Each structure stands twice: as structure tokens, then as C-alpha cells.
Structure 1
């Protein structure tokens, strides 16, 4: 018996070290889980494109045998399509081969069909056919700084892509290299890291070389972005010209996650990790922290989360949806996945004992779609949590 996604239902895609799981819900409290898809393949990136008549789920698949590519499904995971020659392939003369797809970013409704990808080796790609085929952004690839960009602990990653509503301003963040900005839709790029620390370098305030872990844009304030750094949480109000610290009030300034509200000004979420040398939640107590005033203050949110947790949450293993109130989701390296239907005030466990969670994405789905995939398990609501 297939699973039906009904009007205003929710889809949660969970990419792990050993495959993809899909969870579905009508109330964001009880979830049905199906999978695995792409068993034994790494899924480090997911994009859910809701701009068309049917949602398209795109996944960056990395097989140890077949290599990396982007696969997509237009029926919520019932069937998958992979381009025969690969969705992303370095052109001749670049002397490079694709290692991993770190980011899949559907553009705005004003540019249907446009999907961006961030990859390893550090590079940015653009698709105009809904993520089926991508073209290398030569402006960033040919940048004179590229030879000096390095690899973070998990690899060399172009992991964050933020495009403003007009499409002219594009910000990319990479580990390691920092934040780069384009004012011409991606034709040319400049480093924009003033104020972001690189304490591990001889010059702690270089033009580039920072290990920025994640960036996200404020949906309601043009030019405002937030960054979670390798030690440091920052905000810019001028499109990256200057960054200021907003870490005061957090139990730790290290972490990987940076999420922003899809509509409301000043609201963002982080998940602090104690330090780069320990990489566990502070005191082994997992919590999400939310600001509603652009980083002036932070609120600890842990209702429904375990009393003790020693697994970290990776940069793309967290997401928000576009519902009202906004849903907040994340997964741990220990294979637990949590969902909040009230902007982080309380959480329920969607799944447990999955492989290492690498990426989480959520979407509101309208209409009725049959997946043809039977549910393998159901995650019940934890009792006693507020609605």
C-alpha cells in the first residue's frame, strides 16, 4: 500500500552515510518513514524544489563504486532518474574530477528551473533545467584565490549558496576559503570576510582563508546574512562588507548549523558544539538556540530532546520548512532525527538508529501524491509535549 501525501502535508528528506530516508506527516507530530533509497551510498546534499506542479526531490548521491551525481524524483521517491552522463561533470581542460556534491539550492520562483550546486573540489554550478544538468561557474573556478583554498576536516566544500531576490547578488561560503560575493549573478567574485576571525592562521584577520561553516540570509532584510564560523557566530547588514559577532549569550561559539526564518525578520537558529577539539553539545546536553532579534539575545530550546547526547549535528543536517509556524528539523551523527512544529519550542523524534545523518531538508507539499512506497516504520509522538 502506497503512502499518500495530502494537501498541506509535510515531507522530510534525510540523507545519511548509507542512504536516503523519506518521512511524511500531516501534522508534523506523527511521521511515517520509508527507505532506504540508494542504500550504501552517501547522501551529503538534498534539495526539494516546490516551484513546479509536483515537488522535485534532488539528491547528491556519492557511490564508492559509481562516483557522485545528482538524482531526482518527481513522485516523492517512488522512482528516481539519473542522467546517463552524470548531472555534474568537469569540462575538459580543468583537470578536475567531481568528488562530492555538498549543496543543492533551488533558486526563487522568479527563476523557475534554476538550481545551484556547491561541490568538491570547491566549485559552484548552475542548472537551468531543474537540476538535471549543471554548468560550471567559471568566474569562481578561475578565481586567483582558488589555489590557496583548503579543505576543512570533512573535505573541501562549497557548502552554502545564497541568492538574493533579484538574482544579482550571490554569496557563497566554503571551507576553507570564507565568504565570496558576486554582484553580477555569478560572473565575478570577491572575498567578503572582514570581521570573521581565522584565529588558526598567522594573520587572524585575512582577506580570505576563513573556515566558515554555514551562512544563511535573513528573508525580510535585504543585505543581512548570518554565519556560523569555526569558532564565531556573525551577522552582516551590508551584504558581507562587514561582519559583527553575535555569539554573546550562546554556550559555545563553535558549531555547523545556521538556519533562518523563511519570512520573519531577525529570527535564526544555531546548534552549538562545545569546541573543535571535543565536538559534542556543551555538557553533553543537546539544544537548539534561537534568536528573534538578529543575534542580540538567544533562547535555549530543548523540550523533547534527550537529556544526554554526545553526537554533533553537521552543517546541512538541519533545515526549516515554510509552514506557519515554521518547522525546525535536524539529525545527529548518531542517527536520530528530530522535528519541531513550533519553531523549536518543542521537538519529537522522527527516526532513530539511522546511519550518520549528513543532510536534512523539509518541505510543505500541496495536492495529493501517491508514492507507491510502503512505510517501513512509524514515529509516534512523544507524550506530554505541547501542541
Structure 2
């Protein structure tokens, strides 16, 4: 099982190592003081890609080819020049959409040497040379429906979930906040808007089922059964059995169906984990109790997992990419906005705190050794 964690925070990237049974500790850190918005450890290669959000100094990319011993600055996905006279405004806020990378929100690996990158404002980029160059997926960016995407928690829409089908790396599905679910079967040459069965409670009733108005917070799939998708939506939890074309909503999920993070078991399509929160105005754990919920039967029933987690006056919010499961489906980890980090070695039955003093956690990923 993977015995290292990469934890991207508001002030640096940390690696956490399992030193013996039941004990983890911070092994090293990089980029201290810099927000690390997302990180990708490419399995079996030793390659790590980290995205840094440096505010006035812009977005930067760092790449290591040796598991983190050495880093080099890498090219950032860049938009083409915006055509003169083109009006391109966010329909919700009315702000002019910049044709420049504001935030790198997601990274995913495809076939060897292939990377996908989702950014704000709503761009999807592809690299076929390990991140040395990037190409904007113009078929998606130029789709006229893209101009109906809306900013949600951020001023502009963004791509936060990228699912590469392990059976066919030309088949890629992305989640857009706020812009629904899109899929391609030809590596981005053509795109299709999918998502029948999704529901946006924040829209007028006659528009609630429009797939273009949906706000998926996070989408993941089961690698061994990639037609099974799990979604944490803005107003509920949804599951799909056909790669996202059709969804069914899971009702009466306690303590809440709201949240941001979801993780899918790598081999069991019926098992997934979520971190619930109180919706919208508060965005804290329900009743101040931090819990993880787990289903093992495709969403028919959810267990509330609380052993080892704070059960009073806990105000930890867990972001989209801050919950991770290892490739065996046994170890889980998540970090919170309070700078706390927890690990479970038994699928979430019990949790142990690694730290309560990290900067706010933005993303978590297990790092395999190259010999795994």
C-alpha cells in the first residue's frame, strides 16, 4: 500500500510518510509560503506536477522527475489571444472572462506522457510531452454553450474534475462548476454535454434539469469499473452507471448530502466516501461534528464514520481535492481548512490525526513508490 501522502496547502507542499504501524509524520516540504492549488503524482514514474497560485505573480507550474528530490519550473497552460471585439462575459456576474489562466484546478494523467489540466476560467488543456507544452481544447472552449457557464464559488467557471477512462485514454469526462458534465471519445476533438437526471435546486423549476446549469462539486469514477461515477453536487449526491450519461440522486443522506469531496474505491464500484457539511451560508460540519460518510452498496445506505474525528466545535471544511484513497482502497486521508490532516488504514472505520497545524489544506494525494 502507498505509504506517502502529498499534501498541497495554502503555504506549501508537504510529504507525509508512514514510519511504522499506526504512525505518520511530516517528512519534508517544498514551496513554503506558496499556495499549491493541485498536485499530481503520476503512478509508476516518479514524476510529480505541482501548480502554484502566486497571486500578483501569477500561476506557476513545478515538475519533479525524481519523486520530489529536485524541481524545475515548467510551462503554464496559456490561452491564445482573445479576438478583438469579442464579448465574453460570465452570465451570472457580468464580468468579462479573461483569456488567461487564473488558477490551475485539476491535473490528470492519460496515456504515457499525456497530461490533462483543468483551469479557471473554464479551460481544458492537454499535453502529450509530459507537461513541456500545452494545447487548449478549442472544441470545448469555442463551443457556444461554454459562454453560458457561470462562476460559482469563484468569479468564473472552472474545470475541477478530469476522468480519463483506463480502458480508452481518448475517452475523457470533465466536471465544470458551473457548467455540467462533458465528455469526449476522441481526445478532445469533439465534446458532448451529458448529465440526464441531474438536478440544480438553485435554478427555477423549469430549468432545474438542464444539464448546462449543473454544479458538480467533484466527480470521480471507480478505476476497475469506470462506467460507475460518483458525484458530489452542490445540492446532493448522484451516481451514474453509464459513464455520466444518466444519473440518479441519492435521497435522505445523513447528516447531509452537501459537501465538496468524494473518493471512489478503486476496485469496488459500490463503495465511495464523502465528507458532509452544512449547506451554503455556513459551510461547516453539521452540528459541529466532523464525520466521513461511506456507502458500500451503491448508495442504498450510508454509514457515518466518526471514530477519531472531533465531535464538538469542529469547523473543518474539506475541499474538492482534499480527500484521497490509495490504490488498494484501504487507506484514506483528508485535510481541512483548519490545517488538520487525518489518515485511516481501515477504509474509514477509524481515523488518526497526523497534524492540526498545517496551513489550510487544498489537495491530498497518495504517492506510490516507483516500485509499486
For 2:200, the equivalent position in structure 1 comes to 198
Q: How far 1:160 sits from its partner (Å)? A: 0.1
Q: CA RMSD in A?
A: 1.9
Question: Aligned runs of 1:1-40 on 2, under 5 Å?
Answer: 10-27=3-20, 29-40=22-33
For 2:86, the equivalent position in structure 1 comes to none
Task: Confirm or deny: 8 A CA contact 1:317 1:330 kept in the other structure.
Answer: yes
For 2:62, the equivalent position in structure 1 comes to 71
For 1:253, the equivalent position in structure 2 comes to 257
CA distance in 2 between partners of 1:180 and 1:27 (Å): 43
CA distance in 2 between partners of 1:222 and 1:18 (Å): 34
For 1:374, the equivalent position in structure 2 comes to none
State the 4+ residue runs in structure 1 displaced beyond 3 angstroms.
92-95
Decide which of 321, 328, 346 is 2:326's aligned counterpart.
Answer: 321
Deviations 1:133-176 (A, max 9, x none): 32211121111111111112135320001111212322110111
For 2:219, the equivalent position in structure 1 comes to 215
Decide which of 91, 96, 99 is 1:96's aligned counterpart.
Answer: 99
CA distance in 2 between partners of 1:36 and 1:288 (Å): 27
Deviations 1:5-52 (A, max 9, x none): xxx652211111121111112557322314542122211111111232
For 2:89, the equivalent position in structure 1 comes to none
Q: How far 1:222 sits from its partner (Å)? A: 4.2
CA distance in 2 between partners of 1:214 and 1:226 (Å): 8
Gaps in structure 2 of 5+ consecutive residues? 84-97
With over 3 angstroms needed to count, the CA separation of the structure-2 counterparts of 1:267 and 1:27, relative to structure 1, is: farther
Deviations 1:249-271 (A, max 9, x none): 33111100111011222111111
TM-score normalised to the size of structure 1?
Answer: 0.86
CA distance in 1 between partners of 2:38 and 2:47 (Å): 14
CA distance in 2 between partners of 1:223 and 1:44 (Å): 28
CA distance in 2 between partners of 1:74 and 1:135 (Å): 22
Question: Aligned runs of 1:163-312 on 2, under 5 Å?
Answer: 163-164=164-165, 165-202=167-204, 203-308=207-312, 309-312=314-317
Task: Confirm or deny: 8 A CA contact 1:19 1:36 kept in the other structure.
Answer: yes
Q: How far 1:96 sits from its partner (Å)? A: 1.1
Gaps in structure 1 of 5+ consecutive residues? 1-7, 369-387
For 1:124, the equivalent position in structure 2 comes to 124
TM-score normalised to the size of structure 2?
Answer: 0.89
CA distance in 1 between partners of 2:274 and 2:4 (Å): 22
Number of residue equivalences: 353
